[in-house]
Every structure is written in C-alpha cells, then in structure tokens.
Structure 1
C-alpha cells in the first residue's frame, strides 16, 4: 500500500492564496541584504555572524511586509477601495488574483490571522537579530520597533496611510540597508546613507504612480494622502519632484565627498529609464505602465549599487 502525501488541490490553492496575500513573490525589498553585504568591510564579509544577522533580518522583514500588505488588504476590502481600484478596466496590468480577498480565495478573518501571525514572526526574528548583532544601540532598536509598528499600522488600526503618513511609510524600505549595516558595523558611512535614501526613493517611485491611479477609490474610502489632497496637476508636479530627489541625493553625496564622481556613471542608465517612466506616467497618463517600469528600475538599481560597493570598498 502506498501513502499519497502530496498536498491536495485545495491545500495548494490555499497556500498560493496566502503567498499572494503576503506578496511573498515581491522580493524587491529583500535584495537590500546583498547591498549591505557588499558594503561591509572585507573582514566581515565571510563572518558567520554577518550571515546570521542578514538572514534573520530579511526573514523578519518578510514577516513585517507580509503583515503590512495583508492587513492593508483587510482594510481595502472593508472600505471598498480595493473593489474600486481593481476594476476590470485595469485587469491587464493589475491581476485580480493578486487580491485573494477580492477573488474569494480567503476570508477576512483568515487574512487578519495571517497578518497578525506575520507580525509576530517579524517581531521575534528582529528581536533575535538585536540579540546576536555585534553592534547594538538603543536608537537602532527603537528604529526597528518603529518600522515594525508603523508598517503594521499602515492601513489598519491607526491607519497611518489614511491620515497623512502614507508617503512617509513608503520610503521605509530604505532602512533595510541602514539598520542591518549599523547592527553589523556600529556606524553609517556616507555611501550607505546614500544607498538608504536611493532604495527608499525607488520604492516611493513605484507607489506614487499606484496612488495616482487609485485616487478615486482612495478618496471614496477617506484616505488622505498627497494624491487625494491635491489636484491632478499638482500631484504630477510632486511626482516630478520625487524623480528629481534621486538626482539631488546623488549630487549632495558627491558634493560632501560621501561617494566619488564615478558613481554618476552607474546611475545614468537608470536615469535614462526614469525619463521613460516619467513620460509614461506624467506625460501620457499610463500610470500602471509607469508603476511597472518603477518596479523594474528598483530591481535594476540593485546591481548598480552592488557594483558601486565593490568598486568603492573591495577593488
């Protein structure tokens, strides 16, 4: 007699729904670990503690992000904003199956339990990181706690994203570079600070296009962010300003001697594509196309920063 231990179709479907609920296929933020590793002094590159800190931090961050997006979906289904924003007209670029609460694959109660479980997972692993890290200080611990709490409260509980704080939370992925680096080295170099800023801006340059696309549904739900509180023309100017911040950050870093002038050469290919992103979103109104370009640029920016770290520190 053979024993069939393969998962049933229902189990596989449920697991797939939870994967989509937690956006576990969206790995962009977790690529920060490679940037941090390449920025470390040579003596720490192959140290066991380094790998333990980075692995635990990223594994915990997966929980933080999963909790954030799952509870965001809970709020989105309750206030009707997701049903409005994921209308059939946008199906070509926004797959309805990415929202298992809308598709009926999961219940609100299941999503809530998943979200709170993911938060506990993140809190436990980040606590372990703080215990084993070679360099710890109170401000880093408080910063980690603030990221955890504010992200989970993004659209749930305090609903920070509904009360003027959305854009502030959207740049916190950049801290996935700063925090583990400081935990490992006890300092923050100019290069790491610049990369923290860029990584956060790249995240924002995805989300601001989503916000503009979702503005009608967000207004109906009572969300107060830059998109809902400004006119379309004013928000387009804000988007252009966000694009310019990337250039300004690099210029300031070069001006204060934080990075060498050759850093610009690594950024130029990305900036050329940024023009295409801005043209698609701001100029032509193809907001979801601009969002997809932003995701690609976020991913393409990672090898650029890796190369910058190698050239600056290990060549």
Structure 2
C-alpha cells in the first residue's frame, strides 16, 4: 500500500512524532527527483539531436591525420590544431543535424518517415518527435553548436599561427555553411541532386580542410579518400531517400528518388558503385601505396554490391541502407590500414 512512497523513519507503528514534517518534505523530494529526471531526458535528447554517437562522421578527420606526412606531424601546433578541428567537426555535425531535425519536425516529413512500428528504425533518434526536447531547446542547441564550430575552427588555425593555404580556410567555412543549408536556408536538399552533392562535398571537406591546414599542400591520396568517404555516404543516403520518397515529396524535397523514375535511380546507384571501385583501384595503383589495398577494401566493395541486390532488385531499401552503413565502417578500415603502412611504417 505504501510502496510508492520513499521510506520515512518517522512513520513507525504507534508513532505520531514529526509526521507533518515528513509529509511536507515529500512534494519537494518528488519535485527534485522529477527535475533531475527531466534534465537527464533533455540531455539525452540533445545528444541524440547532435548525432554525436554516429562516429562515422569523424572518419574524415581520422584519415586526414593518417594522411599527414611525418614532417607535417612535427609542425608546431599540429596536434593541437587537429584536436580543435575534431571539436569543430563535432560542432558542425551537431549544428547541421539539429537544423535538419528541426526542419523535418516542422514540415512533418520526419513524422511520416520515422514510424514507431518500423523495425529497422528507432524513433528515439528523433528527439523532437518523442518530445524529449522542445523546438526552442533544439534551436538554442543548433545556434550554440554553430558558434562553437566557428570558434573551434578559428582556434585551430590560430594554433598553426594562421599559416595555412586559403583552400583550407575556404573548405572549412564552406563545408560548415553548406552542411547547415541541407534543409534550412538555401535548402540544398530540396533541389534535384543537391542533397547528394552536398553530402559528398561536406564529407570531403571534413577531411581536406584539416589536412590542408596542417600539410599545406594537396596530395592525390587525400583527394581520393575524401571523395570515397563522400561517395560512400551518398551510397547510404540514396537508399534512405527511396524509402522516404513519400515524406520527402510531401515536404517538397526534390531528391533523386522524388524527381526521377526507378530506372534513373537504379542507374545512379550502379554508377556510384562503379565510381567507388574505380577510385579504389586508382588509389591502389598510386606510387608508393600497397597494392593489397584492394584486398582490405574488398569487404566494403562486396557489401556495396549487396546493396544493389537488396535495393534495386529486392526493394529492401532500409536493409540496403544498413548494409551501406556497415560498408562505410569497413571501407574506412580498408583504406586506413594501407594509409598507415604507406606513410608511417
């Protein structure tokens, strides 16, 4: 009967001592516990909003670090700058993802695309839909993350004594600016092919900006790996877009899945696969790079081929998307290991 109440030493059989005191403190204790619970829910919601657990977003910076020459790594301020670029990357992703979630919440596309009964999607990934955070809290978080991205980037270039090529500054700023414009502002994803182009560019910029800032020169392996990461991310989103075509059409988002027929979509997915294989082959043939890169990248390539089977052939778009995410992880490892052997063994 009293199981829902916390234990009070004054409530013993036959005792009336200080009963009023214990009863009066009860609401305060409940209020404090509720407040702590509410803060925890909000914090977890903001973490989900930031997508900070999606570690794939930071593969670009990890590869940029591996691609730096030994001389560049010894440069004063290099380590500090790379750590600050990591912080900047976290903030950029948080700002962009929060902005996208706010847009999806407002136009109703997320509500349609994230159904609670879908087995391959967890609606908790959308804290605005679950009510874990309010729209105002999400807006404040997005703006704060944007300021942090600018400050972290400026601090990184300062750590390098501002001695970086113009292209590094441009890629960092443009990568940040266009990432946020995915669903708001310019709404790049609402233009045909805009979403795919932006994903590839912003992902590539996440590798090239810190690499150029510290290395101070372009290299073919860095460009190839930046393009591969961007392309592999497109090979995830393109399958999601086919599954989300109804919600995107309702919101006015002009993805390839919305604006083209199934034949064009399938052709684009096949082209992405061939381009990925071509870039891997070209990278493996680069002088001084181990040819066995093709072997370490084979698992990712095989999963990308499986995507084509489960998506265009079987129509299992979310399963194909999941395979793309696994391929992204394996692809990162498949080029990271040869990069280490090529530059740092």
The partner residue of 1:174 within 204, 226, 238 is: 204
Aligned CA-pair RMSD: 2.2
- The reply to whether residue 221 of structure 1 matches residue 251 of structure 2 is yes
Shift in Å, 1:163? 2.3
Q: Evaluate the alpha carbon distance shift between residue 302 and residue 252 of structure 1 in structure 2; reply closer, same or farther with a 3 A threshold.
A: closer
**Are the counterparts in 1 of residues 114 and 123 from structure 2 also a CA contact under 8 Å?**
yes
Other-structure match for 1:112:
139
Structure 2 matches for 1:142-221, cutoff 5 A? 142-164=170-192, 165-171=194-200, 172-221=202-251
User: SS at 1:8's partner residue?
Assistant: helix
Show structure 1 runs of 4+ deviating over 6 A: 4-7
CA deviations over 1:103-148 (Å, ceiling 9, x no partner):
1111212111111111111111111112223641222212211111
1:191–1:259 contact (8 Å) kept in structure 2: no
1:285 Cα deviation from its structure 2 partner: 1.3
- Deviations, residues 168-208 of structure 1 (Å, cap 9, x unaligned): 11112122222111111111211111111111111111111
2:276 corresponds to which of 241, 246, 257: 246
* Structure 1: unaligned runs, 5 residues or longer: none
Higher relative contact order structure (alpha carbons within 8 Å, sequence separation ≥ 6):
1
Q: Which moved more, 1:270-279 or 1:223-232?
A: 270-279
Which residue matches 1:270?
300
Change (3 A) 1:48 1:227: same
User: What pairs up with 1:66-81 in 2 under 5 angstroms?
Assistant: 66-81=94-109
Larger radius of gyration: 2
C-alpha contact (below 8 Å) 1:190/1:259 kept by paired residues = no
Q: Deviations over 1:223-243 (max 9, x none)?
A: 112111101232122111111
In structure 2, the partner of 1:231 is 261
Q: What's the counterpart of residue 23 of structure 2?
A: none
Contact 2:288–2:342 (8 Å) recurs in 1? no
Aligned to 2:315: 285
Shift of 1:93: 1.0
Instruction: Quote the Cα distance in structure 2 between the aligned partners of 1:48 and 1:99.
Output: 42
| Distance in 2, Cα, partners of 1:36 & 1:144 | 13
Which residue of structure 2 aligns with residue 92 of structure 1? Answer: 119
Deviation at 1:31, TM superposition (A): 2.6
Distance 1:275 1:209 in 2: 13
Judge conservation of contact 1:38–1:45 (CA < 8 Å) in 2: no
Following superposition, the deviation at residue 48 of structure 1 comes to 6.2
Does structure 2 retain, via aligned residues, the 8 Å contact 1:84–1:217?
yes
Do the aligned partners of residues 46 and 286 (structure 1) sit closer, same or farther apart at CA in structure 2, a change above 3 Å counting?
farther
Residue 58 of structure 1: how far off its partner (Å): 1.4
Residues 77 and 160 of structure 2 are in contact (CA less than 8 Å); yes or no, is this contact kept in structure 1? yes
The alpha-carbon deviation at position 261 of structure 1 amounts to 3.5
Equivalenced residue count is: 311
CA distance change for structure 1 residues 258 and 177 in 2, over 3 Å: closer, same or farther?
farther
Kindly indicate whether the alpha-carbon contact (under 8 Å) linking 1:85 and 1:214 is maintained by their aligned counterparts in 2: yes
Q: Verify the 8 A CA contact 1:190 1:258 in the aligned structure 2.
A: no
Q: Tell me, which stretches of 5 or more residues in structure 2 are unaligned?
A: 1-28
The offset of 1:218, in angstroms, is: 0.4
Q: Distance in 2 between matches of 1:55 and 1:65?
A: 15
Judge conservation of contact 1:191–1:258 (CA < 8 Å) in 2.
no
Alignment partner, residue 10 of structure 1: 38
